[in-house]
Structure 1
Amino acid sequence: MSDANDGGPSTPDTPAVERVEGPGIAVRGDDVDTDQILPARFLKVLTFEGLGEFAFFDQRFEEVETDGTVEERETDHPFNDPAHRDASVLVVGSNFGCGSSREHAPQALQRWGIDAVVGESFAEIFAGNCLALGVPTVTLDGDAVEALQSFVEADPDADVVVDVGEETVSYDGRTVDATVDDAHQHALTEGQWDTTAQLAAVPERITETANDLPYVESTR
Protein backbone atom coordinates (compact mmCIF):
# COMPACT_ATOMS: atom_id res chain seq x y z
CA MET A 1 0.00 0.00 0.00
CA SER A 2 1.37 3.41 -0.87
CA ASP A 3 1.86 6.18 1.63
CA ALA A 4 -1.01 8.65 2.03
CA ASN A 5 1.33 11.47 1.12
CA ASP A 6 1.55 10.32 -2.52
CA GLY A 7 -2.13 10.89 -3.19
CA GLY A 8 -3.80 8.02 -1.40
CA PRO A 9 -3.58 4.26 -1.02
CA SER A 10 -3.37 1.93 -3.97
CA THR A 11 -4.69 -1.61 -3.76
CA PRO A 12 -3.65 -4.92 -5.33
CA ASP A 13 -7.05 -5.09 -7.03
CA THR A 14 -6.68 -1.72 -8.76
CA PRO A 15 -4.22 -1.99 -11.62
CA ALA A 16 -2.33 0.98 -12.95
CA VAL A 17 -3.58 2.20 -16.32
CA GLU A 18 -0.52 3.45 -18.14
CA ARG A 19 -1.23 2.39 -21.70
CA VAL A 20 -4.24 1.30 -23.74
CA GLU A 21 -3.73 -0.34 -27.11
CA GLY A 22 -6.31 -1.65 -29.54
CA PRO A 23 -8.33 -0.96 -32.67
CA GLY A 24 -10.17 2.34 -32.86
CA ILE A 25 -13.74 3.36 -33.60
CA ALA A 26 -14.88 6.89 -34.48
CA VAL A 27 -18.13 8.55 -33.44
CA ARG A 28 -18.22 11.89 -35.21
CA GLY A 29 -19.95 15.06 -34.11
CA ASP A 30 -19.63 17.58 -31.30
CA ASP A 31 -21.75 17.88 -28.15
CA VAL A 32 -22.67 14.19 -28.08
CA ASP A 33 -24.55 14.06 -24.78
CA THR A 34 -25.07 11.25 -22.31
CA ASP A 35 -28.64 10.69 -23.50
CA GLN A 36 -27.25 9.85 -26.93
CA ILE A 37 -24.61 7.61 -25.38
CA LEU A 38 -27.24 5.82 -23.29
CA PRO A 39 -30.93 6.79 -23.52
CA ALA A 40 -32.67 7.46 -20.22
CA ARG A 41 -35.05 4.49 -20.44
CA PHE A 42 -32.10 2.14 -19.92
CA LEU A 43 -31.22 3.67 -16.55
CA LYS A 44 -33.79 1.56 -14.70
CA VAL A 45 -31.53 -1.48 -14.49
CA LEU A 46 -30.61 -2.77 -11.02
CA THR A 47 -26.98 -3.36 -12.03
CA PHE A 48 -24.76 -2.18 -14.88
CA GLU A 49 -24.57 -5.66 -16.37
CA GLY A 50 -25.64 -5.82 -20.01
CA LEU A 51 -25.60 -2.05 -20.58
CA GLY A 52 -23.09 -2.39 -23.40
CA GLU A 53 -25.69 -3.57 -25.88
CA PHE A 54 -27.61 -0.32 -25.38
CA ALA A 55 -24.74 2.08 -26.08
CA PHE A 56 -25.85 4.68 -28.67
CA PHE A 57 -29.07 2.69 -29.02
CA ASP A 58 -31.24 5.42 -30.53
CA GLN A 59 -28.55 6.22 -33.09
CA ARG A 60 -27.98 2.56 -33.90
CA PHE A 61 -31.63 1.59 -34.47
CA GLU A 62 -34.63 3.20 -36.11
CA GLU A 63 -38.26 2.21 -36.37
CA VAL A 64 -39.48 1.51 -39.88
CA GLU A 65 -43.12 0.84 -40.75
CA THR A 66 -43.79 -1.70 -43.48
CA ASP A 67 -47.33 -2.78 -44.37
CA GLY A 68 -48.61 -1.56 -41.04
CA THR A 69 -45.91 -3.36 -39.08
CA VAL A 70 -43.26 -1.39 -37.21
CA GLU A 71 -39.83 -2.94 -37.26
CA GLU A 72 -36.59 -1.92 -35.61
CA ARG A 73 -33.72 -1.80 -38.06
CA GLU A 74 -30.02 -1.14 -37.72
CA THR A 75 -28.59 2.15 -39.00
CA ASP A 76 -25.09 2.62 -40.37
CA HIS A 77 -23.79 3.73 -36.97
CA PRO A 78 -20.18 2.59 -36.43
CA PHE A 79 -21.18 0.62 -33.30
CA ASN A 80 -23.21 -1.62 -35.62
CA ASP A 81 -20.30 -2.25 -37.99
CA PRO A 82 -18.84 -5.76 -37.46
CA ALA A 83 -15.47 -4.42 -38.61
CA HIS A 84 -15.31 -2.32 -35.44
CA ARG A 85 -16.62 -4.91 -32.99
CA ASP A 86 -13.20 -5.45 -31.41
CA ALA A 87 -12.49 -1.72 -31.03
CA SER A 88 -11.28 -0.53 -27.65
CA VAL A 89 -10.28 3.10 -28.35
CA LEU A 90 -13.18 5.49 -29.04
CA VAL A 91 -12.38 8.66 -30.97
CA VAL A 92 -14.85 11.53 -30.57
CA GLY A 93 -15.27 15.27 -31.13
CA SER A 94 -15.59 18.16 -28.67
CA ASN A 95 -17.66 18.39 -25.48
CA PHE A 96 -18.28 14.65 -25.54
CA GLY A 97 -20.43 13.39 -22.66
CA CYS A 98 -22.23 16.66 -21.98
CA GLY A 99 -25.75 16.74 -20.58
CA SER A 100 -26.84 14.80 -17.52
CA SER A 101 -24.27 13.35 -15.16
CA ARG A 102 -25.44 9.73 -15.50
CA GLU A 103 -22.63 7.31 -14.67
CA HIS A 104 -24.42 4.71 -16.78
CA ALA A 105 -23.07 6.31 -19.97
CA PRO A 106 -19.39 5.42 -19.47
CA GLN A 107 -20.49 2.12 -17.95
CA ALA A 108 -22.26 1.29 -21.24
CA LEU A 109 -19.22 2.27 -23.28
CA GLN A 110 -16.85 0.22 -21.16
CA ARG A 111 -19.14 -2.80 -21.21
CA TRP A 112 -19.37 -2.51 -25.00
CA GLY A 113 -15.58 -2.80 -25.03
CA ILE A 114 -14.15 0.72 -24.82
CA ASP A 115 -11.00 1.06 -22.68
CA ALA A 116 -10.00 4.64 -23.59
CA VAL A 117 -11.65 7.68 -25.16
CA VAL A 118 -9.73 10.18 -27.27
CA GLY A 119 -11.39 13.45 -28.24
CA GLU A 120 -11.11 17.20 -28.60
CA SER A 121 -12.73 17.86 -25.20
CA PHE A 122 -14.95 16.18 -22.60
CA ALA A 123 -17.65 17.23 -20.18
CA GLU A 124 -16.04 17.32 -16.75
CA ILE A 125 -18.47 15.00 -14.97
CA PHE A 126 -18.35 12.47 -17.81
CA ALA A 127 -14.54 12.43 -17.63
CA GLY A 128 -14.74 11.92 -13.87
CA ASN A 129 -17.13 9.02 -14.29
CA CYS A 130 -14.75 7.47 -16.82
CA LEU A 131 -11.89 7.85 -14.36
CA ALA A 132 -13.87 5.92 -11.75
CA LEU A 133 -13.85 2.99 -14.19
CA GLY A 134 -10.17 3.28 -15.08
CA VAL A 135 -11.03 4.58 -18.57
CA PRO A 136 -8.69 7.42 -19.65
CA THR A 137 -10.14 10.46 -21.41
CA VAL A 138 -7.36 11.93 -23.54
CA THR A 139 -7.56 15.14 -25.57
CA LEU A 140 -6.05 16.07 -28.93
CA ASP A 141 -6.46 19.23 -31.00
CA GLY A 142 -9.22 19.29 -33.60
CA ASP A 143 -7.05 18.52 -36.62
CA ALA A 144 -5.41 15.58 -34.85
CA VAL A 145 -8.83 14.18 -33.88
CA GLU A 146 -10.07 14.47 -37.47
CA ALA A 147 -6.98 12.69 -38.78
CA LEU A 148 -7.32 9.89 -36.23
CA GLN A 149 -11.02 9.44 -36.94
CA SER A 150 -10.35 9.16 -40.66
CA PHE A 151 -7.60 6.63 -40.01
CA VAL A 152 -9.67 4.29 -37.82
CA GLU A 153 -12.57 4.48 -40.26
CA ALA A 154 -10.27 3.46 -43.11
CA ASP A 155 -8.37 0.78 -41.18
CA PRO A 156 -10.55 -0.70 -38.41
CA ASP A 157 -8.04 -3.47 -37.63
CA ALA A 158 -5.09 -1.16 -36.98
CA ASP A 159 -4.06 -0.52 -33.38
CA VAL A 160 -4.14 2.87 -31.69
CA VAL A 161 -1.83 3.27 -28.70
CA VAL A 162 -2.86 5.66 -25.94
CA ASP A 163 0.04 6.32 -23.56
CA VAL A 164 -1.39 7.93 -20.44
CA GLY A 165 1.94 8.58 -18.76
CA GLU A 166 3.70 10.01 -21.79
CA GLU A 167 0.54 11.83 -22.98
CA THR A 168 0.77 10.63 -26.56
CA VAL A 169 -1.42 8.82 -29.06
CA SER A 170 0.35 6.66 -31.64
CA TYR A 171 -0.96 5.05 -34.81
CA ASP A 172 0.15 4.29 -38.36
CA GLY A 173 3.80 4.97 -37.55
CA ARG A 174 3.17 8.43 -36.13
CA THR A 175 2.95 9.80 -32.60
CA VAL A 176 0.98 12.92 -31.68
CA ASP A 177 1.03 14.90 -28.45
CA ALA A 178 -2.03 14.53 -26.25
CA THR A 179 -3.21 15.93 -22.92
CA VAL A 180 -4.35 14.06 -19.85
CA ASP A 181 -5.71 15.89 -16.82
CA ASP A 182 -2.95 15.90 -14.19
CA ALA A 183 -5.09 14.45 -11.41
CA HIS A 184 -6.51 11.80 -13.72
CA GLN A 185 -3.05 10.90 -14.99
CA HIS A 186 -1.75 10.42 -11.45
CA ALA A 187 -4.73 8.33 -10.37
CA LEU A 188 -4.53 6.09 -13.43
CA THR A 189 -0.79 5.53 -13.54
CA GLU A 190 -0.54 5.01 -9.76
CA GLY A 191 -3.51 2.62 -9.58
CA GLN A 192 -5.55 5.02 -7.44
CA TRP A 193 -8.56 5.51 -9.71
CA ASP A 194 -10.89 3.10 -7.88
CA THR A 195 -11.93 5.11 -4.83
CA THR A 196 -14.24 2.35 -3.58
CA ALA A 197 -11.35 -0.11 -3.51
CA GLN A 198 -9.19 2.45 -1.72
CA LEU A 199 -11.81 2.81 1.01
CA ALA A 200 -12.20 -0.95 1.33
CA ALA A 201 -8.44 -1.24 1.80
CA VAL A 202 -8.44 0.92 4.95
CA PRO A 203 -11.44 -0.20 7.05
CA GLU A 204 -9.74 0.90 10.28
CA ARG A 205 -9.51 4.49 9.03
CA ILE A 206 -13.17 4.42 8.01
CA THR A 207 -14.13 3.25 11.50
CA GLU A 208 -11.94 5.89 13.12
CA THR A 209 -13.50 8.64 11.02
CA ALA A 210 -17.02 7.36 11.71
CA ASN A 211 -16.38 7.32 15.44
CA ASP A 212 -15.41 10.99 15.31
CA LEU A 213 -18.65 12.04 13.60
CA PRO A 214 -21.14 13.55 16.08
CA TYR A 215 -24.15 12.10 14.24
CA VAL A 216 -22.88 8.50 14.09
CA GLU A 217 -23.15 6.22 17.12
CA SER A 218 -19.67 5.25 18.24
CA THR A 219 -18.63 1.58 18.03
CA ARG A 220 -15.98 2.01 20.70
Structure 2
Amino acid sequence: MDKFTTLTGVAAPMPLVNIDTDMIIPKQFLKTIQRSGLGKNLFDEMRYDQQGNEIPDFVLNQPAYRNAEVIVAGDNFGCGSSREHAPWALLDFGIRCVISTSFADIFFNNCFKNGILPVVLPQEAVDALMEDAKKGANARMTVDLESQTVTTSDGQSFAFEVDAFRKHCLLNGLDDIGLTLEKAAAIDSFEATAGQARPWV
Protein backbone atom coordinates (compact mmCIF):
# COMPACT_ATOMS: atom_id res chain seq x y z
CA MET A 1 0.00 0.00 0.00
CA ASP A 2 1.34 3.44 -0.91
CA LYS A 3 2.11 5.81 1.94
CA PHE A 4 -0.11 8.84 2.47
CA THR A 5 1.77 11.83 3.84
CA THR A 6 0.93 15.07 2.03
CA LEU A 7 -1.27 15.33 -1.04
CA THR A 8 -1.60 18.44 -3.17
CA GLY A 9 -3.98 18.05 -6.07
CA VAL A 10 -7.19 18.96 -7.82
CA ALA A 11 -10.37 18.41 -5.82
CA ALA A 12 -13.59 17.48 -7.59
CA PRO A 13 -16.79 18.95 -6.11
CA MET A 14 -19.58 16.37 -5.68
CA PRO A 15 -22.25 18.03 -3.52
CA LEU A 16 -24.67 15.09 -3.71
CA VAL A 17 -25.71 13.52 -0.40
CA ASN A 18 -25.95 9.75 0.17
CA ILE A 19 -23.56 8.74 -2.60
CA ASP A 20 -23.75 4.99 -2.09
CA THR A 21 -21.36 2.22 -3.05
CA ASP A 22 -23.53 1.14 -5.99
CA MET A 23 -23.16 4.64 -7.43
CA ILE A 24 -19.41 4.50 -6.80
CA ILE A 25 -19.01 1.11 -8.53
CA PRO A 26 -22.19 -0.57 -9.87
CA LYS A 27 -22.85 -4.21 -9.04
CA GLN A 28 -22.09 -5.56 -12.52
CA PHE A 29 -18.40 -4.73 -12.02
CA LEU A 30 -18.00 -6.74 -8.81
CA LYS A 31 -17.02 -10.01 -10.50
CA THR A 32 -13.31 -9.30 -10.30
CA ILE A 33 -11.13 -9.79 -7.24
CA GLN A 34 -8.39 -7.63 -8.79
CA ARG A 35 -7.88 -4.19 -7.28
CA SER A 36 -6.79 -2.68 -10.57
CA GLY A 37 -8.86 -1.83 -13.62
CA LEU A 38 -11.96 -0.59 -11.80
CA GLY A 39 -11.17 3.11 -12.20
CA LYS A 40 -12.69 3.23 -15.68
CA ASN A 41 -16.01 2.14 -14.15
CA LEU A 42 -15.95 4.55 -11.19
CA PHE A 43 -19.38 6.27 -11.02
CA ASP A 44 -20.17 4.37 -14.23
CA GLU A 45 -23.88 5.17 -14.39
CA MET A 46 -23.19 8.84 -13.73
CA ARG A 47 -20.23 9.11 -16.14
CA TYR A 48 -21.63 7.29 -19.17
CA ASP A 49 -24.92 7.08 -21.04
CA GLN A 50 -26.47 3.76 -22.12
CA GLN A 51 -24.35 3.75 -25.29
CA GLY A 52 -21.14 4.10 -23.29
CA ASN A 53 -20.57 7.76 -24.21
CA GLU A 54 -19.32 10.18 -21.60
CA ILE A 55 -21.91 12.47 -20.03
CA PRO A 56 -20.21 15.89 -20.37
CA ASP A 57 -21.89 17.44 -17.33
CA PHE A 58 -20.55 14.85 -14.87
CA VAL A 59 -17.72 16.40 -12.88
CA LEU A 60 -15.05 13.75 -13.53
CA ASN A 61 -15.67 14.02 -17.28
CA GLN A 62 -14.91 17.73 -17.26
CA PRO A 63 -11.35 18.60 -18.36
CA ALA A 64 -10.55 20.39 -15.10
CA TYR A 65 -11.29 17.31 -13.00
CA ARG A 66 -10.13 14.34 -15.08
CA ASN A 67 -7.02 14.04 -12.90
CA ALA A 68 -8.69 14.83 -9.58
CA GLU A 69 -7.08 13.23 -6.52
CA VAL A 70 -9.56 14.55 -3.95
CA ILE A 71 -13.36 14.45 -3.84
CA VAL A 72 -15.31 16.95 -1.74
CA ALA A 73 -18.69 15.31 -1.24
CA GLY A 74 -22.07 15.71 0.41
CA ASP A 75 -23.12 14.01 3.62
CA ASN A 76 -23.12 10.22 4.19
CA PHE A 77 -20.61 9.25 1.48
CA GLY A 78 -20.15 5.52 0.87
CA CYS A 79 -23.46 4.33 2.28
CA GLY A 80 -25.18 1.20 0.96
CA SER A 81 -23.64 -2.24 0.61
CA SER A 82 -20.24 -3.07 2.09
CA ARG A 83 -18.36 -3.73 -1.17
CA GLU A 84 -14.60 -3.16 -0.89
CA HIS A 85 -14.61 -2.60 -4.66
CA ALA A 86 -15.74 0.98 -3.94
CA PRO A 87 -12.41 2.16 -2.50
CA TRP A 88 -10.60 0.00 -5.07
CA ALA A 89 -12.35 1.90 -7.87
CA LEU A 90 -11.64 5.30 -6.31
CA LEU A 91 -7.98 4.46 -5.82
CA ASP A 92 -7.59 3.03 -9.33
CA PHE A 93 -9.02 6.25 -10.76
CA GLY A 94 -6.48 8.25 -8.72
CA ILE A 95 -8.57 9.45 -5.75
CA ARG A 96 -6.51 9.39 -2.53
CA CYS A 97 -8.76 11.49 -0.28
CA VAL A 98 -12.51 12.01 0.15
CA ILE A 99 -13.82 14.86 2.29
CA SER A 100 -17.35 14.87 3.69
CA THR A 101 -19.35 15.64 6.81
CA SER A 102 -19.88 11.90 7.40
CA PHE A 103 -19.19 8.46 5.95
CA ALA A 104 -20.81 5.05 6.21
CA ASP A 105 -18.81 3.01 8.75
CA ILE A 106 -17.79 0.06 6.56
CA PHE A 107 -16.76 2.27 3.65
CA PHE A 108 -14.84 4.51 6.08
CA ASN A 109 -12.88 1.54 7.44
CA ASN A 110 -12.23 0.11 3.97
CA CYS A 111 -10.73 3.42 2.84
CA PHE A 112 -7.99 3.26 5.46
CA LYS A 113 -7.23 -0.36 4.58
CA ASN A 114 -6.71 0.62 0.93
CA GLY A 115 -4.65 3.80 1.26
CA ILE A 116 -7.43 6.37 0.96
CA LEU A 117 -7.84 9.07 3.60
CA PRO A 118 -11.49 9.85 4.47
CA VAL A 119 -11.65 13.27 6.13
CA VAL A 120 -14.62 14.26 8.28
CA LEU A 121 -15.20 17.99 8.70
CA PRO A 122 -18.08 20.20 9.85
CA GLN A 123 -20.55 21.42 7.26
CA GLU A 124 -19.12 24.96 7.19
CA ALA A 125 -15.65 23.62 6.39
CA VAL A 126 -16.96 21.27 3.70
CA ASP A 127 -18.91 24.16 2.17
CA ALA A 128 -15.74 26.27 1.99
CA LEU A 129 -13.77 23.39 0.45
CA MET A 130 -16.59 22.72 -2.01
CA GLU A 131 -16.42 26.33 -3.20
CA ASP A 132 -12.64 26.08 -3.56
CA ALA A 133 -12.99 22.85 -5.55
CA LYS A 134 -15.40 24.56 -7.95
CA LYS A 135 -12.55 26.83 -9.08
CA GLY A 136 -11.22 23.98 -11.24
CA ALA A 137 -7.76 22.69 -12.09
CA ASN A 138 -5.95 25.87 -11.02
CA ALA A 139 -7.20 25.50 -7.45
CA ARG A 140 -5.05 22.81 -5.87
CA MET A 141 -5.99 21.66 -2.39
CA THR A 142 -3.43 20.33 0.11
CA VAL A 143 -4.20 17.50 2.53
CA ASP A 144 -1.49 17.05 5.16
CA LEU A 145 -1.96 13.90 7.24
CA GLU A 146 0.96 14.60 9.55
CA SER A 147 -0.45 17.97 10.64
CA GLN A 148 -4.07 16.81 10.09
CA THR A 149 -5.05 19.81 7.99
CA VAL A 150 -6.77 20.51 4.69
CA THR A 151 -5.74 23.79 3.04
CA THR A 152 -7.55 25.51 0.20
CA SER A 153 -5.84 27.05 -2.81
CA ASP A 154 -6.03 30.48 -1.15
CA GLY A 155 -4.54 29.31 2.15
CA GLN A 156 -7.60 28.73 4.31
CA SER A 157 -6.86 25.77 6.59
CA PHE A 158 -9.12 23.31 8.40
CA ALA A 159 -8.00 20.82 11.05
CA PHE A 160 -9.43 17.29 11.12
CA GLU A 161 -9.31 14.40 13.56
CA VAL A 162 -7.99 10.94 12.71
CA ASP A 163 -7.44 7.85 14.82
CA ALA A 164 -3.77 7.59 15.82
CA PHE A 165 -3.41 3.94 14.74
CA ARG A 166 -5.02 4.56 11.35
CA LYS A 167 -2.83 7.61 10.88
CA HIS A 168 0.26 5.50 11.62
CA CYS A 169 -0.82 2.89 9.07
CA LEU A 170 -1.43 5.44 6.31
CA LEU A 171 1.76 7.38 6.98
CA ASN A 172 3.75 4.14 6.74
CA GLY A 173 1.77 2.46 3.96
CA LEU A 174 0.65 -0.43 6.16
CA ASP A 175 -2.41 -2.44 5.22
CA ASP A 176 -3.43 -5.59 7.16
CA ILE A 177 -0.75 -7.65 5.39
CA GLY A 178 1.88 -5.00 6.02
CA LEU A 179 1.00 -4.91 9.72
CA THR A 180 1.38 -8.69 9.89
CA LEU A 181 4.74 -8.59 8.10
CA GLU A 182 6.01 -6.15 10.73
CA LYS A 183 5.86 -9.15 13.08
CA ALA A 184 7.62 -11.47 10.63
CA ALA A 185 10.58 -12.14 12.93
CA ALA A 186 8.32 -13.07 15.86
CA ILE A 187 6.19 -15.27 13.60
CA ASP A 188 9.28 -17.06 12.23
CA SER A 189 10.59 -17.59 15.77
CA PHE A 190 7.25 -19.02 16.93
CA GLU A 191 7.04 -21.37 13.95
CA ALA A 192 10.58 -22.63 14.52
CA THR A 193 9.92 -23.29 18.21
CA ALA A 194 6.54 -24.89 17.50
CA GLY A 195 8.07 -27.07 14.79
CA GLN A 196 10.64 -28.45 17.23
CA ALA A 197 8.10 -29.01 19.97
CA ARG A 198 5.50 -30.58 17.68
CA PRO A 199 7.25 -31.96 14.61
CA TRP A 200 4.18 -33.97 13.67
CA VAL A 201 2.12 -30.80 13.00
TM class by shorter chain equals: 0.7 to 0.9
Instruction: Give the structure 2 partner of residue 73 of structure 1.
Output: 53
AA partner of residue 46 (structure 2):
Q
Which of 90, 105, 110 lines up with 1:124 in the alignment? Answer: 105
Which of 157, 164, 173 lines up with 2:155 in the alignment? Answer: 173
AA partner of residue 169 (structure 1):
V
Change over 3 Å in CA distance of 1:72–1:128 after alignment to 2? same
Which of 34, 57, 60 lines up with 2:21 in the alignment? Answer: 34
User: CA separation in 1, counterparts of 2:62 and 2:2?
Assistant: 31
AA partner of residue 170 (structure 2):
L
Instruction: Give the structure 2 partner of residue 157 of structure 1.
Output: 138
Change over 3 Å in CA distance of 1:35–1:22 after alignment to 2? same
Q: With structure 1 as the length reference, what TM-score do the two structures score?
A: 0.79
Contact 1:192 1:198 in 2 (8 A): no
Task: Confirm or deny that 1:95 pairs with 2:76.
Answer: yes
User: CA separation in 1, counterparts of 2:3 and 2:49?
Assistant: 40
Q: CA deviation at 1:151?
A: 1.6
Q: Which stretch of the first structure deviates more once superposed, 36-45 or 196-205?
A: 196-205
User: CA separation in 2, counterparts of 1:205 and 1:54?
Assistant: 42
RMSD, matched Cα:
2.4
Instruction: Give the structure 1 partner of residue 9 of structure 2.
Output: 22
Change over 3 Å in CA distance of 1:199–1:61 after alignment to 2? same
User: CA separation in 2, counterparts of 1:188 and 1:218?
Assistant: 39
Percent of aligned pairs with the same amino acid = 35
Give aligned pairs, total: 195
Which of 37, 41, 45 lines up with 1:54 in the alignment? Answer: 41
AA partner of residue 16 (structure 2):
G
Cα deviations across residues 31-90 of structure 1 (Å, max 9, x unaligned)? 111001000110002412210000000111223xxxxxxx34322111111211121111
AA partner of residue 89 (structure 1):
V
SS in 1 for 2:99: strand
Contact 2:148 2:162 in 1 (8 A): yes
Q: CA deviation at 1:155?
A: 2.7
AA partner of residue 60 (structure 1):
R
Cα deviations across residues 118-137 of structure 1 (Å, max 9, x unaligned)? 11111121111111122111
Runs of 5+ unmatched residues, structure 1 = 1-13, 64-70
SS in 2 for 1:44: coil
User: CA separation in 2, counterparts of 1:119 and 1:128?
Assistant: 15
Contact 1:140 1:178 in 2 (8 A): yes
AA partner of residue 27 (structure 1):
M
Contact 2:60 2:68 in 1 (8 A): no
Change over 3 Å in CA distance of 1:74–1:200 after alignment to 2? same
Cα deviations across residues 119-172 of structure 1 (Å, max 9, x unaligned)? 111112111111112211111111221221122122323211111122211012
Task: Confirm or deny that 1:187 pairs with 2:169.
Answer: yes
